[in-house]
Structure 1
Amino acid sequence: MIHVHLENSTAKAEPFWLTTALVDTACASYGNLPGEARFTVGNDPAAIHACLSTADVLVTSAGVIADPHFPRGDLARIAPKLRFIHLIDAGVEDVMPLTWLPAHVQLINNSGVHVEKAREFLLMTLLALNSRLPQIMNNQWHARWDAIFTSAIKDKCLLVVGLGDLGKAAVAAGLTLNMRILGVRRSALAVPGVERVYGPDRLKEAMALADFVVICTPLTSQTRNMISRSVLETAKPGAALVNIGRADVLDHDALVECLENGLLSGALLDVLPQEPLPASSALWTCPNLMINPHVGADDPTTYMRETMRLLFDNLRAHRRGESLKNVVDRIREY
């Protein structure tokens, strides 16, 4: 009997709660597991110790791991049977470094469950930025009639920074729009559909070629402030930028200046330096900037369904002694 404990964070929006109903639906849909499984659901981090004492698998969010009640400093003793933790978040920066995680316990992230919604969102975003929609909306707010003519997006250059699951969704969006696609990734290995892949050391060279830049990279010690002031200043004049990755990859003060001085024609941020974004933030009033409240890649009808599909795939692999999907690399931090 394998014990799977799901610890819910009510800080999440309701469509993303871990519930008994979600477990029942998943068991009916994906429940052909080798051997038997017992599922428990909790909603109180202060009471999690009892559940962890017998759990083989923990499904939860980064917020629960970061909660003071979670026994990060004594996990091996309190959860002696634990073999993997499945985070329902794609980003894992809030639980780094993994010095609290016993060596025999693997951390799984939720990368990939949001790919289709992200692709649709980026299709919309690229078309909106190509048509200068942020500037048109700004003109509307000021009752200013200014006929802005723009050319078709076909054959324009899209630079995708980070070519994991989210980056590949951006590539798919660009291919749908018949764009030229460049990429930046840690390994600089080729990716289908990408004309050329640059290493991070050649980011400025790639920026100078791009009409659109989409940030999709995870946040690690290597990518923090990756899109810095000096990088933004090498952008092709009139380029537009999207961040659907992690906020701290981008220098927001420099972004505001580049939008104000016209170096960048527009930007859309789906991730913000503080969420919710305070009313006092200069980002709210920055010209030609659209703010999306971190919902671009989240489909409330499929996100948790795909989360449970991934969980059950890994439960089957675990019982068979096979490799798990989406294991976080402790060195790479994603």
Structure 2
Amino acid sequence: MTQKLRIHLQSNPKAPELFRMTRERYRAAAKRQPEIARRVTCTIATDKNGFYRAMPRAEVLVGWGFPRKALDVTAPNLKWIHIIGAGIDHFLPLDWLPKKVKLVNNKGVHVPKVSEYVVMSLLMLANAVPSLVSQQQKRQWREIYSTTIRGKTLLVIGTGHMGGAAARKGKELGLHVLGVRRTPRPHRYIDEMYAPSDLLQILPRADFVIVTAPLTSQTRGLLGKRELDAMKPEASLVNLGRAEVVDYDVLRSKLKRGHLKGAVLDVFDSEPLPASSPLWKTPNLIITPHVASDDAETYMPLTLDLVLENAGRYLDKRRLKNLVVPSREY
């Protein structure tokens, strides 16, 4: 009898409900992929004791937070780790990762939800909703007339799964789409592709800038004062990637002075955002608490489907999906 692949789900009972891996959710995923599920065995734990009981035999570890010290000793049979998020910046540096263990992330799971959020953000910014909300808070009545969004220019910084989804929605809204990626290869939904070194050249052209780039040593501070100063006053910015990619102090100053039309931020240096943060009182700014891409109903089902799909690929000796390249930090 062929030995089954051993998968361990390390769940956080204190996480929001949509991020919890439960026996019921795993069974539902197994029913959706019965052929693969018959070839694996699964354990679930919610504490360190359960983690350490499972690790000696586990071949796959799925989770977001888990003990990383001496993992090569704790989990000698481990083949890969599946991180149930797209970004891996809180795992950097990867010096804790055993040499023969691969790392996989959750990219792709966020696309349906983030696509709708992008449309919402673009239409809000095109219709000056951040400014209208700021006026409402001051009980001010001042007409702000806007025009349709079609024909304007969108710049997407980071054209992976979420950036690609943003570009696609931009095209559907009739926008001319510029893109920035590490290697400026063509993209189906992007009219013009550029390298990060071209930012100062193309930022003045953008009516809307959407940031979806991961946080790495190369992208930290990518949009600093020079870059934000290059944006035209009528432009707006959306950050769905990581806060440290954009200089929020400079952004806040430009919004207060009316040197940018508006912004929508979903990611922050410290989360929850402290009540003392000046961002809360920044005019022409919409804040959402890191909810842009996480679907309350489908996030974990899609995650567990991906876990089982990769199990099937491994058992069939095929390449895993969503492999992280350590040297790129994503």
Shorter-chain TM-score bucket reads: over 0.9
Larger mean CA deviation between 27-36 and 10-19 belongs to 27-36
Aligned length: 327
**Offset at 1:209?**
0.5
Counterpart for residue 11 of structure 1? 14
**Offset at 1:242?**
0.2
2:198 to 202, 208, 211: 202
Partners of 2:37 and 2:15 in 1: CA distance:
31
Counterpart for residue 290 of structure 1? 286
Partners of 1:11 and 1:290 in 2: CA distance:
27
CA contact (8 A) 1:183 1:197 kept: yes
**Offset at 1:2?**
1.4
Partners of 1:237 and 1:189 in 2: CA distance:
30
CA contact (8 A) 1:31 1:312 kept: no
Q: Residues 231-286 of structure 1, C-alpha deviation per residue, up to 9 Å, x if partnerless?
A: 10110221000001111111010000111121110000011121100010010000
Q: Spell out the pairing of 1:272-283 with structure 2 (5 A cutoff).
A: 272-283=268-279
Counterpart for residue 314 of structure 2? 318
2:175 to 174, 179, 182: 179
Q: Residues 85-119 of structure 1, C-alpha deviation per residue, up to 9 Å, x if partnerless?
A: 11111110011111111111111100110101111
Partners of 1:35 and 1:24 in 2: CA distance:
11
> Structure 1-normalised TM-score?
0.96
Report the secondary structure of 1:121's partner residue: helix
2:213 to 203, 210, 217: 217
Counterpart for residue 43 of structure 1? 46
CA contact (8 A) 2:104 2:324 kept: yes
Query: Quick one: percent identity of the two aligned structures?
Result: 39
Q: Unaligned 5+ residue runs, structure 1?
A: none
**Offset at 1:151?**
1.0
What amino acid does structure 1 have at the position aligned with 2:302?
E
Q: Residue 73 in 1 paired to residue 76 in 2? A: no
**Offset at 1:34?**
8.1
Q: Unaligned 5+ residue runs, structure 2?
A: none
Counterpart for residue 127 of structure 1? 123
What amino acid does structure 1 have at the position aligned with 2:22?
T
CA contact (8 A) 1:161 1:184 kept: yes
CA contact (8 A) 2:135 2:141 kept: yes
1:164 to 160, 164, 188: 160
**Offset at 1:193?**
2.0
Higher relative contact order at CA 8 Å, sep ≥6: structure 1 or structure 2? 2
**Offset at 1:78?**
1.4
What amino acid does structure 2 have at the position aligned with 1:44?
D
User: What is the alpha-carbon root mean square deviation over aligned residues?
Assistant: 1.1
Partners of 1:125 and 1:212 in 2: CA distance:
10
What amino acid does structure 1 have at the position aligned with 2:307?
L
1:142 to 138, 145, 148: 138
Partners of 2:239 and 2:319 in 1: CA distance:
32
What amino acid does structure 1 have at the position aligned with 2:47?
D
CA contact (8 A) 2:164 2:189 kept: no
Partners of 1:142 and 1:73 in 2: CA distance:
52
Report the secondary structure of 1:73's partner residue: coil
Structure 1: 4+ residue segments shifted above 4 A: none
Larger mean CA deviation between 125-134 and 41-50 belongs to 41-50
Q: Spell out the pairing of 1:17-56 with structure 2 (5 A cutoff).
A: 17-33=20-36, 36-56=39-59
Counterpart for residue 149 of structure 2? 153
Partners of 2:295 and 2:71 in 1: CA distance:
33
**Offset at 1:31?**
2.6
Counterpart for residue 249 of structure 2? 253
**Offset at 1:287?**
0.6
**Offset at 1:46?**
4.4
Q: Residues 195-236 of structure 1, C-alpha deviation per residue, up to 9 Å, x if partnerless?
A: 111100011111111000000100001001111111101102
CA contact (8 A) 1:34 1:319 kept: no
